[in-house]
């Protein structure tokens, strides 16, 4: 299947390697015979392919992203494939400088500054903002049946009650904005003291910005108060930031819960470490 796509794009590949931690797609870095590198991305489903493709249309010239070089729309059996340029950097490190954190804040705010275009209709990217509370609830309960099968029933029942209690205390949502839904260090590319851009748009929506800080806080911002402060300075240089203390506890909780369900769907053995991490987080929060 991969060779078929390489031939479709007319690539002269010298070597290729699968990119680790690409949770919702298969991604290969391809070294070409002219010395350049490109990325071949095969999303998990056609819907994710469609979101990715539409994101490049929305973000081009507005936010630093790879160049969309080519795409294949797939077939009844295959979801499609996307060919991307190399941003020539490495994923954001948890030990980055405050200068990098400031730039990450700028980048995130640039995404959130984008609102649904009036002149475009999309097949993949939905505007969930008008029914935001319903969207959050549907996401949670869509994973609940999966979660129920892999955690202690007492913990499961406590989680359901915690969801209702915390959800009722949320402030009014802010939006609609372009939200990445997986804005975490793995998807932010840096080179030295420069943020090169953001990747991976398979889960994007238009919605409330409050959900979009969760994974970055989990994997990066929570590790160093100076980094968190620099990030917020960068963000507010572009647009005001919401009251994160009012929303982060709820979305950190739902992220842990939903991630357990994701592991059940994709394979508890293949994702055992991620499952264990999120069960531990859930236990701490209920």
Domains held by the chain: number = 2
Claim to verify: residue 168 and residue 66 sit in the same structural domain: no
Nearest CA among 262, 286, 277, 132 for reference residue 210: 132
What pLDDT sits at residue 186? 94
Model-level pTM? 0.93
Task: Report whether 88 contacts 196 (CB < 8 A).
Answer: yes
Query: Phi/psi class of residue 17: alpha, beta or left (left: φ > 0; alpha: ψ in -120 to 50)?
Result: beta
Domain with residue 26: its CATH number is 3.30.200.20
Claim to verify: residue 78 and residue 206 sit in the same structural domain: no
What pLDDT sits at residue 23? 65
* Of the residues 45, 68, 86, the one at which a domain ends: 86
Claim to verify: residue 73 and residue 138 sit in the same structural domain: no
Claim to verify: residue 213 and residue 271 sit in the same structural domain: yes
Task: Report whether 96 contacts 196 (CB < 8 A).
Answer: no
What pLDDT sits at residue 25? 82
Claim to verify: residue 118 and residue 172 sit in the same structural domain: yes
* Of the residues 22, 53, 86, the one at which a domain ends: 86
Claim to verify: residue 129 and residue 210 sit in the same structural domain: yes
Domain with residue 219: its CATH number is 3.90.1200.10
Domain membership of residue 236 as a residue range: 91-285
87 to 178, 189, 192, 198: CA distances (angstroms): 21, 7, 13, 9
pLDDT per residue rounded down to tens, the chain (286 residues):
788 889 889 999 999 999 887 666 899 999 999 999 999 999 988 999 999 999 999 999 999 999 999 999 877 778 889 999 999 999 999 999 999 999 999 999 999 999 998 877 888 999 999 999 999 999 999 999 999 999 999 999 999 999 999 999 999 999 999 999 999 999 999 999 999 999 999 999 999 999 999 999 999 999 999 999 999 999 999 999 999 999 999 999 999 999 999 999 989 998 999 999 999 999 999 9
- Rounded Cα distance between 151 and 161, Å, is 15
Claim to verify: residue 78 and residue 134 sit in the same structural domain: no
What pLDDT sits at residue 74? 78
């Amino acid at each position: 299947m991969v060779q078929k796509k390489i031939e479709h794009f007319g690539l002269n590949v010298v070597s290729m390697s699968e990119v680790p931690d690409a949770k919702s797609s298969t991604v290969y870095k391809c070294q070409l015979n002219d010395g350049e590198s490109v990325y071949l991305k095969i999303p998990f489903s056609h819907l994710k392919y469609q979101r990715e493709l539409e994101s490049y249309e929305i973000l081009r010239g507005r936010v630093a992203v790879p160049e969309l070089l080519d795409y294949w729309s797939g077939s009844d059996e295959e979801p499609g494939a996307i060919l991307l340029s190399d941003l020539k950097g490495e994923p954001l490190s948890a030990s980055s400088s405050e200068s990098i954190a400031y730039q990450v804040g700028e980048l995130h705010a640039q995404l959130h500054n984008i609102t649904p275009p009036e002149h475009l209709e999309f097949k993949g990217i939905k505007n969930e903002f008008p029914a935001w509370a319903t969207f959050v609830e549907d996401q949670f309960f869509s994973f609940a049946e999966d979660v129920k099968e892999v955690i202690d029933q007492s913990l499961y029942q406590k989680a359901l009650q915690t969801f209702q209690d915390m959800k009722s205390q949320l402030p009014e949502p802010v939006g609609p904005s372009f939200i990445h839904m997986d804005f975490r260090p793995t998807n932010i590319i840096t080179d030295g003291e420069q943020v090169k851009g953001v990747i991976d748009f398979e889960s994007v929506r238009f919605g409330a910005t409050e959900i979009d800080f969760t994974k970055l806080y989990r994997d990066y911002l929570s590790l160093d108060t100076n980094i968190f402060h620099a990030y917020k300075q960068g963000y507010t240089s572009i647009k005001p930031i919401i009251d994160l203390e009012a929303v982060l506890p709820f979305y950190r909780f739902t992220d842990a819960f939903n991630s357990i369900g994701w592991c059940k769907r994709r394979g508890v053995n293949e994702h055992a470490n991620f499952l264990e991490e999120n069960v531990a987080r859930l236990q701490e929060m209920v």
